[in-house]
């Protein structure tokens, strides 16, 4: 099975003539006999909102008042019922113009709007949920489970009405179908890994991570898959990406299990090598990088502990610096691009022998080597001046604390 096998045969529903196919997973699209109606064909947002709301509530009758509240909220309209009636009329016209349907799929009787459930129509979410129920049955073979899981995962083009994610009426459905999808992804990847189909498992897992990067289980699976594919370096790179993602967006560290997988990767048994020079080539930097050495916090801890050990037999001085970034007002927002710029500014203000790590969402750690206390102060002030010059009118503040590695006192403000 390859990426191209993870498709749903079109003749299952799309090629059926005179049947309206409605896609709700990903982009909202209607297809009928080869004709397509999508958001690009409808110029007025409220027409599209009306269509979304009626389709979502296709098994209900919707009162005029409910629709008016959903579409206009607290906005005051002179004649809301007539405004809605005109909107529904224009929507039917737009549907008919683009799809040429044999009947009206949106009906209005006695002030109640509804989707005509008698008209021939297929919804992707119904097919998706059907695959889920079949795959979760306990009385079917593993091969059948994989087949239904694969069809469902292929059918999931994206989150429910992905271009309207913050609509009040969309969010419960988005959570419902995404939970179902993620469960199937994890079950399918487990089955594929047991069958040593690692390439397919990796592709499925990466797609799920693109849909929602905050589901930690998928990152664990991907790292395991990359390890099985003998790609430990990619697994380690992914761990660094995950750590940065969770720290920058959520202000937290990844789950302990992800860290355990990372440590397992770091401690893996490397291939036997006869020549030390070959190992040295692997250890060397592939290109010269100016500025400080950047690493994740786990690596920073190892370096810190190693330096602490050297102090017993060395006259060198090492200092640790904590730099904190804060906003002066809740109205000030620091974007991901800003954080990247701040990190680059710190690195370029330091020497190549210095070490920098992101500690938390708004804090950076630095290790400075072979400096007197006066020189440390000068370097720290240089970093602060560089940052303050870049962001002097942005409402962002920078503060630092410094501590000698051999000292036991509390951190001193610099």
CA distances from 192 to 106, 201, 211, 232, 386 (A): 43, 6, 20, 19, 51
**H or E stretch covering 37:** strand 35-37
Tens of pLDDT, residue by residue over 74-110, are 777 888 889 999 999 999 999 999 999 888 899 988 8
More reliable by pLDDT, 109 or 406: 109
Taking the domain 20-119, which CATH number applies?
Answer: 1.10.10.10
Q: 413 pLDDT exceeds 70?
A: no
CA 87, CA 144: separation in Å to the nearest integer?
46
Helix (H, G, I), strand (E, B) or coil at 123: strand
Mean pLDDT of 159-186: 92
Three-state DSSP class for residue 333: coil
For 205-256, the three-class secondary structure string (H helix, E strand, C coil) is HHHHHHHCCCCHHHHHHHHHHHHHCCCHHHHHHHHHHHHHHHHHHHCCCCCH
Cα separation, 348 vs 361, in Å, equals 20
- pLDDT tens-place string over residues 321-374: 999 998 888 878 888 788 888 999 999 999 988 999 988 888 999 999 888 888
For CA atoms 25, 28, 33, 36, give the dihedral sign. Answer: negative
CB 24 within 8 Å of CB 125: yes
**Using CA of residue 220, residue 221, residue 226, residue 230, what is the dihedral sign?**
positive
- The two tokens of residue 295 are 């690493």
Judge contact between 395 and 332, C-beta under 8 A: yes
Residue 249: Cβ within 10 Å count: 12
Residue with token string 């602490």: 308
Token digits of residue 314:
């060395």
End-to-end CA gap in the chain: 60
pLDDT at 61 over 90: yes
Query: pLDDT class for 128, splitting at 50, 70, 90?
Result: very high
CATH code for the part of the protein at 213-284? 1.25.40.10
Closest CA to 299 of 348, 266, 260: 266
**241-296 residue pLDDT tens:** 887 777 766 666 676 777 777 667 666 545 555 567 766 776 677 666 788 998 88
CB 193 within 8 A of CB 225: yes
Q: Show Cβ contacts of residue 376 under 8 Å, excluding neighbours closer than 6 positions.
A: 319, 321, 368, 402
Query: Which residues are CB-contacts of 41 (< 8 A; sequence separation ≥ 6)?
Result: 94, 98
Distance CA 171, CA 159 (A): 10
Q: Domain 293-413: give its CATH code.
A: 3.30.70.270
Domain ranges within the chain, ordered by starting residue: 20-119, 213-284, 293-413
Average pLDDT across the chain, whole number:
84
| In contact, 158 and 25? CB cutoff 8 Å | yes
At 298-324, the pLDDT tens digits run 889 989 988 888 777 777 788 999 999
Interatomic CA distance for residues 401 and 363, integer angstroms: 11
Integer-rounded Cα radius of gyration of the chain:
29
Q: Given CA atoms 294, 300, 306, 312 in this order, what sign does their dihedral have?
A: positive
């Amino acid at each position: 099975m390859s990426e191209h096998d993870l498709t749903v045969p079109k003749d299952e529903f799309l090629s059926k003539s005179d049947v309206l196919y409605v896609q709700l997973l990903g982009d909202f699209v209607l297809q009928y006999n080869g004709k397509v109606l999508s958001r690009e064909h409808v110029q007025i947002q409220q027409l599209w909102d009306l269509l979304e709301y009626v389709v979502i509530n296709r098994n209900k009758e919707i009162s005029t008042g409910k629709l008016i509240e959903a579409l206009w909220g607290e906005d005051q309209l002179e004649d809301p019922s007539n405004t809605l009636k005109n909107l529904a009329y224009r929507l039917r016209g737009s549907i008919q113009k683009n799809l040429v349907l044999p009947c009206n799929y949106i009906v209005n009787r006695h002030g109640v709007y509804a989707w005509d459930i008698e008209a021939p129509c297929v919804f992707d979410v119904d097919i998706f949920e059907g695959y889920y129920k079949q795959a979760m049955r306990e009385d079917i073979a593993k091969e059948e489970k994989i087949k239904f899981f694969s069809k469902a995962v292929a059918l999931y083009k994206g989150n429910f009405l992905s271009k309207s994610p913050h609509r009040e009426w969309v969010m419960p459905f988005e959570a419902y179908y995404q939970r179902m999808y993620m469960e199937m992804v994890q079950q399918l990847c487990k089955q594929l890994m047991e069958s040593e189909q690692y390439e397919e498992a990796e592709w499925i897992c990466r797609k799920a991570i693109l849909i929602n990067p905050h589901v930690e289980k998928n990152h664990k699976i991907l790292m395991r898959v990359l390890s099985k594919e003998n790609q430990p370096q990619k697994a380690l790179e992914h761990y660094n990406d995950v750590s940065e993602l969770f720290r920058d967006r959520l202000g937290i560290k990844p789950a302990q299990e992800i860290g355990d997988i990372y440590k397992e990767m770091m401690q893996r048994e490397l291939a036997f090598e006869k020549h030390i020079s070959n190992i040295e080539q692997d250890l060397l930097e592939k290109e010269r990088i100016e500025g400080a050495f950047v690493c994740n916090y786990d690596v920073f801890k190892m370096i810190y502990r190693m330096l602490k050990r050297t102090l017993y037999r060395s006259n060198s001085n090492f200092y640790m610096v904590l730099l904190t970034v804060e906003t002066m007002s809740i109205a000030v927002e620091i974007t991901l691009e800003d954080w990247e710029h701040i990190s680059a500014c710190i690195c370029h203000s330091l020497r190549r022998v210095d070490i920098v790590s992101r500690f938390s969402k708004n804090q950076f750690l630095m290790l400075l080597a072979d400096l007197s206390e006066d020189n440390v102060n000068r370097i720290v002030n240089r970093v602060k001046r560089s940052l303050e010059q870049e962001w002097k009118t942005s409402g962002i503040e920078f503060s630092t604390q410094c501590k000698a590695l051999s000292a036991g006192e509390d951190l001193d403000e610099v």
